[in-house]
Amino acid sequence: MDQTIPVPVLKAVETCDALVVGGGPAGSTCAWKLRQRGMAVTVLDKAPFPRDKVCAGWITPAVVQALQLDTEAYAKEHVLQPITAFRTGLIHGGEVETRYQGTVSYGIRRCEFDDYLLRRSGARMQLGQTLKSLEKRGRLWLVNDAITTPLIIGAGGHFCPVARFLGAQLGATEAAVTAKEIEFEMNPEQRADCRVRADTPELYFCRDLKGYGWCFRKGDYLNIGLGREGNQGLSEQLGDFCDFLAQRGRIPKNIPSKFHGHAYLQYGHSRRTLLDDGVLLVGDAAGLAYPESGEGIRPAVESGLMAAATVAEAGEDYGSQRLQAYASRLSARFGPRAAPDGVMVPGFVRSILAGALLGSRWFTRRVVLDRWFLHAHQPGL
């Protein structure tokens, strides 16, 4: 008779001080700061890096400042396109060009930028690994039956599994912005045909002001996309936008046809639970993108910094009461979370107003660009 007793296979369990789920700008920034404070941090991401992220790849100077990015060193090995002007208008309408004295923003490629930040963070990386399970065992979390930690940072973007764990009903009750884009390297013929200047991104608003399209050249790369509130008619609007760009001779012929889509929540429109005992959400997982422009990298980076500062102050007590300081920091920085009650403006009035306002050089520079897109009034963290 066979007397062999089955030996249970013991899985090695790794321990860390904080597990960051998602290695985008929010997660890598938080990991970077926690590492600087001496914590053992692991970043888990379902994608192997470098990975791309659906994005126009525009960053404002506040991002450069918050990340302490050495632009000269970065530009030696990566695309870093200085922006000194904008061309704006309505789709199928007139255009205004606004020039600045110096660099007011930069264009980056997300496949490079995110990889650079993640590697710079000094965190241990578990890439190409999806978050599959999350269990609370007393004071500790057990993640994927393989990692224990007292603290989880949910940085998995709009569809973050940690946000789901905290009750986010993705798609069901959330009014998200949906967007599609392509980014491709132009061949010599396309480069010669492209009339978009690299230092002058182009932004064209939908007539109902519920979204806008962009055309953004970064060196030899061209990024074209359109984002709108809700997902109704996105593909049609995008098709119409590309036809408009082609008719105006802005973009080359034969651009790739496969656009990639993604979504995000605008700050003030998100009701996601931000924290609980031993867990915080940062970046898109928390729904922080600026409502007027959709800029999400700056709030992602800043929330990563604010989360790390809160964790440092908590002194290893990660109870929700201690972590509440993070929610207070977000409100102090970005304002109250409740969306202001909008005045209902009929569609045709919006359309007339849009045409008049976007034709105004003063309004375009002072309000649309300086305030909505560059957030020049809000100094960096």
Ligand X SMILES: Cc1cc2nc3c(=O)[nH]c(=O)nc-3n(C[C@H](O)[C@H](O)[C@H](O)COP(=O)(O)OP(=O)(O)OC[C@H]3O[C@@H](n4cnc5c(N)ncnc54)[C@H](O)[C@@H]3O)c2cc1C
Least CB distance to ligand X at residue 102 (A): 20
For residue 323, give both structure tokens.
């972590």
Instruction: Find the helix packing angle between 320-334 and 297-314, rounded to 10°.
Output: 140
Smallest gap, in angstroms, from Cβ of residue 10 to ligand X?
Answer: 25
CB of 17 to ligand X, least distance (A): 19
Task: Provide the minimum distance between the beta carbon of 261 and ligand X in the complex, in angstroms, as a whole number.
Answer: 8
Contact 54, 181 (CB under 8 A): yes
Q: Which residue's structure tokens are 């632009």?
A: 71
CB-hemisphere CA count at 13 Å for 68?
6
Judge whether 322 and 305 are in contact, CB under 8 Å: no
Nearer to ligand X, 231 or 351 (CB): 231
State the minimum distance, in angstroms, from the CB of residue 313 to ligand X. 22
Least distance (Å) between residue 113 CB and ligand X: 10
> Closer CB to ligand X, residue 284 or residue 321?
284
3-state class of 93 per DSSP?
coil
Contact footprint for ligand X (CB under 6 A): 21-27, 44-47, 53-58, 130-131, 155-157, 159, 161, 179, 181, 225, 227, 262, 264, 283-285, 289, 294-298, 300
When the beta carbons of 143 and 354 are compared against ligand X, the nearer one is 143
**What amino acid occupies position 162?**
V
Task: Give whichever of 25 and 252 is closer to ligand X, judged by the CB atom.
Answer: 25
| Comparison of 47 and 193: residue with beta carbon closer to ligand X | 47
Question: Are 242 and 257 contacting, i.e. CB atoms less than 8 angstroms apart?
Answer: no
**Is the Cβ of residue 170 or residue 351 nearer to ligand X in the bound state?**
170
DSSP state of 371: I
Cα–Cα dist 343/325, whole Å: 32
Residue 143 backbone phi and psi in degrees, to 5: -115, 130
Backbone dihedral angles phi then psi of residue 164, each to the nearest 5 degrees? -60, -45
